Amino acid sequence: MPAQRRHGGKMSTEANRREMPIFTRTFDFLTWLLPATNNFPRAHRHTFTQRLLAAAFDLRERLEEANLRSGAGRLERLVLADEALARVRLYLRLASQWGWMNAGQYEHVGKMVAEIGRLLGGWQKVTTSSGNSSSQEL
């Protein structure tokens, strides 16, 4: 369900504005990742899998927080999102190395994460270079 906000006594939804592609891509990534981790060994679901999912959700949450801020506050959240993305990459690499994902799955998720990384890097660059306080179409 889209988030709703009050503006001048009227209700508007997030769907009324174009969503930035990075939010769509991270949503798609989380939607793919959660069921994929159900195939990881049961013995590691409460350790490794929990850390992977926490890093993935941290990434999305930091992006949401960045979108609500401007200037230095936004850049700080984008840096934290980048750190979470680095953890996600590490955990996915380990899961592949340990044989918990097949080559096709790893290639697919790798493309998703690479695109998120490009979008995040672009947002960081725009924020750094212009001190922009509005949402960027990335």
Residue 1 lies in a domain: no
Q: pLDDT tens digit string along 24-57?
A: 999 999 999 999 999 999 999 889 999 999 999 9
What is the residue range of 28's domain?
20-128
pLDDT of residue 46: 87
Residue 33 lies in a domain: yes
CB 36 within 8 A of CB 109: yes
Residue 12 lies in a domain: no
Percent of the chain whose pLDDT exceeds 70: 81
pLDDT of residue 18: 63
Q: Which spans in the chain are helix H? A: 21-37, 48-67, 71-97, 103-130
Residue 71 lies in a domain: yes
Q: pLDDT tens digit string along 9-22?
A: 443 334 434 689 99
Where residue 2 falls (left for φ over 0; alpha for ψ -120 to 50; beta otherwise) is: beta
For the segment 76-100, the average pLDDT, to the nearest whole number, is: 98
Give the CATH number, domain containing residue 84: 1.20.1440.60
Strands 10-13 and 4-7: antiparallel
> CA 43 to CA 59: how far, in whole Å?
25
Residue 90 lies in a domain: yes
Residue 2 lies in a domain: no
Residue 28 lies in a domain: yes
Residue 128 makes CB contacts below 8 A (sequence gap 6+) with 75
Instruction: Look over the chain and give the mean of its residue pLDDT values, rounded to a whole number.
Output: 86
Segment among 35-49, 54-68, 121-135 with least mean pLDDT: 121-135
**Overall pTM surpassing 0.75 (yes/no):** yes
pLDDT of residue 5: 44
For 65-102, give one letter per residue: b (16+ CB within 10 A) or e. Answer: bbbeeeeeebbebbebbbebbebbbebbeebbeeebbe
The total number of structural domains in the chain stands at 1
